[in-house]
Amino acid sequence: MQNILVVDDEMEIADVVELYLKNDQYRIFKFYTGKEALECIENTKIDLAILDVMLPDIDGFEILKKIREKYTFPVLMLTAKVEYMDKIAGLTLGADDYIPKPFNPLELVARVKAQLRRYTQYNEGVKEEADVIDFAGLVLDRKSHECTYNEKPLTLTPTEFDILWLLCENRGKVISSEELFEKVWHEQYYKNSNNTVMVHIRHLREKMSGPTGKSDFIKTVWGVGYKVEE
């Protein structure tokens, strides 16, 4: 049974999310404040977190930042706000998905399952063509979900790892935003999906620039997509 953290100060919403996820046999840790949630994270093995952005004490973005300092489990952000910059902020800080209120609980459950499936595959070391990619100073280990670049460890979310693996597996080829989105997110590509891809690429570049001071490992082919050189 996987452990899911649910944090929302709107009790009715938190209760509904808890009910639907419990019906799918998840163990739920439900809180209405950020302080309680952070205490839970320190003392409990969490497999996925669902965070409301607007909380009475600590906002969801601050909790997300704390999580990403130590953990790579998937994080879904819930918010009544639909402003573009809020979504960008969440994705840039390392959120894996972003769900505006009001939402369909069944859609939420489907997204939770998709994120957990991807995360679990990395941790169990699912084998496809190879378990390790090693070139140009970058080492990606699918079994351990570890990444190093110029011998410096990079902490990647499952989504970031997926993007980098796909690009490196197809190095020398241009991957369009549409193909990247559909293969990584396993959802149909829409016009606004390109913004989601762009934010994750930018976040990856920022992380990879640390060991080298350069951010050109992932190259943009304008009007086409992204690639890494052979």
DSSP track, 43-85: HS--SEEEEES--SSS-HHHHHHHHHHH--S-EEEEES---HH
Dihedral sign (CA 85, 91, 93, 137): negative
Tokens (6 digits) for 111: 């997204």
HSE-CB at 16 with a 13 A cutoff on CA atoms is: 14
- pLDDT, tens digit, for every residue of 164-199? 999 999 988 999 999 999 999 888 888 777 888 999
- pLDDT, tens digit, for every residue of 15-42? 999 999 999 999 999 999 999 999 999 9
229 to each of 76, 139, 214, how far by Cα in Å? 32, 15, 15
Lowest mean per-residue pLDDT among 76-85, 137-146, 183-192: 76-85
What pLDDT does 130 receive?
66
Are the beta carbons of 74 and 54 closer than 8 angstroms? no
Query: Distance between CA atoms of 220 and 198, rounded to whole angstroms?
Result: 10
What pLDDT does 226 receive?
95
Residue with tokens 């009715």: 12
* Structure confidence at residue 127 as a pLDDT band (50, 70, 90): very low
Lowest mean per-residue pLDDT among 38-47, 78-87, 148-157: 78-87
